[in-house]
Amino acid sequence: MKAVGNLFDRISDRSNLITAVWAAAREKRHNNDVREFLGKIEQHVSQIASSLINGRFEFQRYTSFSVRDTKTRIIQAPTFRDRVVHHAMINITGAIFERGALHHSYACRTGKGQHAALMQARAWTRHHLWYGKMDIRRYYDSVDHEILQTTPATTIS
């Protein structure tokens, strides 16, 4: 994929950050940290923009908690401030990465998601007698995070 440059100013732009705040707050406005952030939205957006522009922005530690459905899972959740920056980044870079994404990759993609994945899986199982169901245990913990962090850097300069 060809590298795309000059995106940093667009990511740290105030209007992009405001859009990112509202996207990150969707269905989370009842959370205390979200309410606090929204109460001082201009101050927080200015601080994020300044730290991004100055190269001083650092992601904070994730919050860990357990969820039990069919099995217990440890969830690592970013702070609301970090989620705002995630949204600001994807607002600008999403289309770039979308072009290089696999067609049958469904998570966190506009127009895809779990329902589209389920419908595709059902279609495949109608045409094939055998299929495998698997879950790679603790995959994210074991994957090389250096590769995950440097791969986008080769696309965005």
The mean per-residue pLDDT over the stretch 129-147 comes to 81
Distance between CA 45 and CA 20 in Å, rounded?
Answer: 10
Q: How many CB atoms lie within 10 A of CB 94?
A: 15
In terms of DSSP H, where are the helices of the chain?
8-11, 14-25, 32-39, 41-53, 80-100, 114-127, 139-142, 145-155
- Please check the confidence at residue 41 and state whether its pLDDT lies above 90: yes
Q: 97: pLDDT confidence band, cut at 50, 70 and 90?
A: confident
Tell me what pLDDT residue 132 has: 81
- Please check the confidence at residue 144 and state whether its pLDDT lies above 90: no
- Whether residue 123 contacts residue 95, with contact meaning beta carbons closer than 8 Å, is answered with no
More confident residue, 103 or 39: 39
Tell me what pLDDT residue 141 has: 79
